[in-house]
Amino acid sequence: MTRPARVWPGRRTAVSVLLAILVAGCANKPAPPPPATTPEPLTEAPSQPPAKVPVPKRKPSPPSEPANATIGTPEPLHPEPTIPPTPTPSPATGPTVVTLDGLEASAVEARLGPPQAQADSPPAVVWRYAADDCAVDVYFYQDLKSGALRALFVDVKGDDRSDQRRDVCLQRLVERHAADAPPPR
128 falls within a domain = yes
The pLDDT of residue 139 is: 94
Q: What is the CATH number of the domain that holds 142?
A: 3.30.1450
Element (H, E) at 140: strand 134-142
Number of C-beta neighbours around residue 142 at 10 A: 13
Least confident range from 40-44, 87-91, 100-104: namely 87-91
Closest-CA residue to 100 (of 126, 131, 132): 126
Instruction: Tell whether 124 is covered by a domain.
Output: yes
pLDDT higher than 90, residue 80: no
Residue 162 counted as domain residue: yes
In the predicted structure, residue 119 carries a pLDDT above the cut 80:
yes
Dist. CA 4–CA 9, nearest whole Å: 15
Q: Is residue 13 part of a domain?
A: no
Domain assignment present for 139: yes
Round to whole Å and give the CA distance between 170 and 154: 10
3-state class of 16 per DSSP? helix
Q: How high does pLDDT run on average in the chain?
A: 76
Q: Which domain holds residue 156?
A: 105-180
Q: What are 132-175's pLDDT values in tens digits?
A: 788 899 999 999 999 999 999 888 887 787 888 888 888 888 88
Q: How many domains is the chain built from?
A: 1
Residue 150: inside a domain, yes or no?
yes
Query: Is position 167 within any domain?
Result: yes
Task: Supply the pTM of this predicted model.
Answer: 0.47
- Asked if residue 14 belongs to a domain, the reply is no
